[in-house]
Structure 1
Amino acid sequence: MGHDHERDAGAERWKHDGVRVIKGDRLDPNTAQTPGMFRQAAITHARVGAQRIWAGTVAIEPDAKTGVHHHGALESVIYVISGRARMRWGERLEYVAEAGPGDFIFVPPYVPHQEINADPEQPLNCVLVRSDNEAVVVNIADVDPVEAPEEVYWVDPIHARPET
């Protein structure tokens, strides 16, 4: 009799602690927000018990961009659903690459970078995955970029406007 009880307890544990499906219309907007962007969390420690990963979506307004920053030891992956992403990186943002629908972007730890919606008319929609649950953003104000920045900044405590 004890054996059946153990099996039932195991089934209950797996039912509630096993695979989770987070429906697209059930994402959580109660995450760090930035003007020009709309982030929604899907996979977090609080939502599903994730220990070493964060995943969600981000919608970025036309022509919007972040200030220069890095994410400390975190690794980030961005998957472009629609729109055109431009990434600038390096000590002076001297490197640039663009990505479109179906493309993946990998941002290694400590790389100074700037995320840009390269389309002046269409939103940029992406899936974002980070290698930890903690949001680490280190703003870099003393960058002398090789190209003058665009006019629209994502400005908030996470992505501050560079000093002028």
Structure 2
Amino acid sequence: MFALFVFNDEKPKKVSVAGEKNEEGVDVWGNITLEFSNNKKAALFYSRADIFPNNAYIGCTKGHVIVPEFRSPDHMEIIRGRSCASAVEEELIEVVQLPYEDDQTYNFLGSAGLRYEADHVYESIRNGKLESDNVTHKFSLTIAEILEEIRRQLGVVLPQDKE
């Protein structure tokens, strides 16, 4: 979803996946590349077996943006330039604090941001909307198609796939 938000809901032209399943047929890790128009791409990695920070990086022609713990970030960092092995030529331009207010305790790390989604759904239903302005039906179908292609390439088969 994050990659599609970055690329204005554009559907990728190509989805490439490598990964591994456990003995029950459940995906354990995956490395996904989404290719979009105009040479745009998203490189995604997930793993249930390894510990990685849940960060998102958005690379641009003049720098990059780091979104720490992107499911519930409290800030993002805008950086100009590029980092090279031989010389670091980057400069922190701005740290943008995100309006994140929550004093509740949650069961899972990073789940506090779901509160905003729940509030949006509640407001949409209360206002009689059948579709979110933020996540349209078209966007949801695009995500479902991408996830189905990822599962297909990994060989993950759900019970409903067998019918």
Structure with the greater relative contact order (CA < 8 A, sep ≥ 6): 1 or 2? 1
TM-score range, shorter chain: under 0.3
**Could you say which structure has the higher helix fraction?**
2
Normalization by structure 1: what TM-score?
Answer: 0.25
